[in-house]
Amino acid sequence: MKEAMQKFSRSAIIPVKFMAVMGLFLAFSVIMQLEVMPSFIQQLGLLIKSMMDGMLNNLALIFCIAITSSMAKKNKMEAGVLSVIVFLIFLAANNAWLTTHGMLAKEGAMGLYGTGQGYVLGFQVVDMNVFLGMILGCVTAYIHNKFSEKQFIDMLSIYAGPRLAFIIMIPITLVLAIILSYVWPVINNGIESLSGVILGAGLFGVFLYGFGNRFLIPTGLHHLLWMPFCFTAIGGTAEINGQMYTGAVNIFYAEMANVGTITTLDPSLRFALFGFSKVFACIPIALALIHCAKKSRKDEVKGMVLPAAFVGTVAGITEALDFTFLFASPLLWFVHSLLAGFSEALIWGLGIRTFVKDGIIDTVVSNSVFSPSLTKVYLFVLVGLVMSVVWYVVFVFLIKKFNLKTPGREEELAVVGVNGQETNVASINEAQVNQQGDIDLVISGLGGAENIEEITNCFTRLRVEVKEPEKVDKVLLEKISLCKGVVMNEKNVQVIIGMGVQPFKEEVCEALGLE
């Protein structure tokens, strides 16, 4: 179950990366449409806004393609094409069933709002938003992996391989289109109830959400917590300028695009505050680690944590820093998660409405289109500076109080060589590393090419499924020059690389002869 959830989360994260760019250009388009701008700049801004709306309003299709292509083990291009076909035939089938059975909702003064139905690519269907793309993407990927390599005799070969997967998906899609016409309205009511419970929990609900987003990072399952709140109806629903939007991030981006009509920011924003600890905690944590390191190793620790802290603060990718202390002290990680949850509850309780999902760049650009009186960004910065001091003081206190073996405080081990002299273990490992490049180290550390079943990646991690976990050499993997840590869960191995994980994964796949 956990392995399946991890596969899904790393697949669903792909469109989220592109949405960061969409949010950036939405902000630019709003600025370009200000009255002080020349008319041609305003028109250009309107065009850019329309382009980004085209993406925002069709996230279900984007998620469907991303999930199918990512989860496909082979023939990823064919899997992507199949996902588009399945998505389209589902819309046609669902619309036809609703039409022939008199189930089509009638539009009111606010369109189809409140009817449980909506328009997707011109089809009036059951309104599932991105859940539709997620469900179809998972089912399509499963069928593709199961049947896309099946072959028939030459005369029937046109119906083999990926086409066989399509043949099987036709009846499956038809059944889903019919069943979901009846089942989804019930599920939708349950989602609304769940959202109401969490919203009704007030500040405690914000705290739990913020704590969970931090604490689950080592498992890779944190995506499964924040994505539903940010991109589905679990996070809330809002009508903006005649259009319905679901999910905290989608709603905020829609508010950005219609800033002239926005007088208050939607309450769903409480689910898009988890970047606070990225912006204000990374640097104080890095400084605390440097402060507590042994004097002889401070320069080494600086080189390790300062670049990682910079990336976390600016871009919002914190794993490179997280894994420098997470394994050294789970206590620090637990306290860090508590402080993250407390901070989010605090800023929400103070009435601060600053959107902060990622790092400084995204935070500044996204909030610049709104009046400071609306976002209270000045209070946001003040609270952030205070909490930065708290993070630093707490980390320094805990590290020294419990003598935690954070970077630069580890015991230096030695072994006796053949000549009877002590030799530092690190020098032996370094010699081994020098004999192998990073790519060879990965393959060897994973038990050899024959032990590797599947390789994928998320934001910062190389994720590998191995056949025999006992063959994995964790110590060897940790000697990769880019490695920030290794997480193992039976057959699932995660090597934390950082922002350069994508090209690194491609090099590994090329060396293994994989797609």
The whole-number pLDDT of residue 459 equals: 64
Q: Mark whether 452 and 386 lie in a shared domain.
A: no
112/192 same-domain check = yes
Record the tokens describing residue 255, joined without a space: 């508010």
Are 331 and 466 part of one and the same domain? no
Most confident of 60-64, 93-97, 198-202, 224-228: 93-97
Is 237 contained in some domain?
Answer: no
Q: Which 3 state secondary structure label does DSSP give 259?
A: helix
247 part of a folded domain: no
Q: Is 176 domain-assigned? A: yes
pLDDT tens digits for 335-357?
A: 999 999 999 999 999 999 999 98
- Same structural domain, 285 and 200: no
- pLDDT value at position 267? 92
Q: pLDDT tens for residues 402-424? A: 998 888 886 654 443 434 444 44
The average pLDDT across 61-69 equals 92
* Section 484-508 average pLDDT: 83
Measured CA to CA, the distance from residue 20 to residue 194 in angstroms comes to 27
The per-residue pLDDT for 232 is 82
Query: By percentage, how much of the chain surpasses pLDDT 70?
Result: 88
**What is the predicted pLDDT for the residue at 190?**
76
CATH number (domain holding residue 474): 3.30.1360.60
Angle between helices 248-257 and 223-231 (to 10 degrees): 40
- Asked whether the predicted pLDDT for residue 288 surpasses 60, the reply is yes
Q: How confident is the model at residue 275 (pLDDT cuts 50, 70, 90)?
A: very high
pLDDT at 220 over 70: no
Per the domain annotation, does 250 fall within a domain? no
One domain, residues 190 and 282: no
Residue 259: predicted pLDDT: 86
User: What is the pLDDT at residue 8?
Assistant: 73
Look at the chain and report how many structural domains it folds into: 3
Is 436 found in the same domain as 389?
A: no
Higher-pLDDT residue of 482 and 274 is 274
Give 123's strand partners.
120
Handedness of CA 305, 324, 8, 493 (dihedral sign): positive
| Domain final residue, candidates 208, 229, 256 | 208
> Which residues are known catalytic residues?
458
Whole-number mean pLDDT of the chain? 84
What is the rounded distance in angstroms from the CA atom of residue 221 to the CA atom of residue 170?
32
* 295/194 same-domain check: no
In degrees, to the nearest 5, what angle opens at C-alpha 314 toward C-alphas 310 and 318?
Answer: 65
Query: Is 219 inside any structural domain?
Result: no
pLDDT attached to residue 483:
83
Mean pLDDT of the 261-290 span: 94
Query: What is the SS3 assignment for 260-286?
Result: HHCCCCCHHHHHHCCCHHHHHHHHHHH
174 and 284 inside one domain: no
Q: Indicate whether 45 and 162 sit together in one domain.
A: yes
Q: Is residue 244 over pLDDT 90?
A: no
In this predicted structure, what is the pLDDT of residue 421?
A: 46
Evaluate if residue 257 carries a pLDDT over 60.
yes
Please give the pLDDT value at position 388.
Answer: 97
User: Could you say which of 360, 386, 401 is where a domain stops?
Assistant: 401
- Mean pLDDT value across residues 425-429: 41
d(CA 234, CA 271): 10
Instruction: Report how far residue 160's alpha carbon sits from residue 150's, in angstroms, rounded to the nearest whole number.
Output: 6
Please give the pLDDT value at position 68.
Answer: 94
**Is 381 part of any domain?**
yes
Instruction: Give the pLDDT of residue 22.
Output: 77
Listed residue (494, 399, 390, 485) closest to 446, CA to CA: 494
Give me the DSSP letters along 309-324.
Answer: HHHHHHH---HHHHHH
Q: Are residues 393 and 438 in the same domain?
A: no
In a domain? residue 423: no
**Burial (0-12, 13-18, 19+ Cβ within 10 Å), 122:** exposed
Q: Is the pLDDT of residue 486 over 80?
A: yes
The reported pLDDT for the residue numbered 106 is 86
Last-in-domain residue among 162, 186, 208: 208
Strand partners, 463: 456, 494
452 lies in the same domain as 375 = no
Between 9 and 201, the more confident residue is 201
Of 283, 278, 275, 312, which Cα lies nearest the Cα of 389? 283
Residue 103 located in a structural domain: yes
Residue 37 has pLDDT above 90, yes or no: no
**Token pair in block for residue 103:** 């189930």
Q: Which domain holds residue 57?
A: 2-208
Residue 499, number of CB atoms within 10 A of its CB:
15
pLDDT score for 422: 46
Do residues 497 and 438 share a domain? yes
pLDDT at residue 130 greater than cutoff 90: no
Are residues 356 and 276 in contact, defined by beta-carbon separation less than 8 angstroms? yes
CA distance 495 to 56: 32
Instruction: Kindly report, residue by residue over 155-214, the tens digit of the pLDDT.
Output: 787 888 889 999 999 999 999 999 999 998 888 777 667 667 777 788 999 999 999 889
What is the model's pLDDT at position 57? 82
Is the pLDDT confidence value at 394 over 90? yes
pLDDT 10s digits, 312-340 = 888 787 877 887 788 678 899 999 999 99
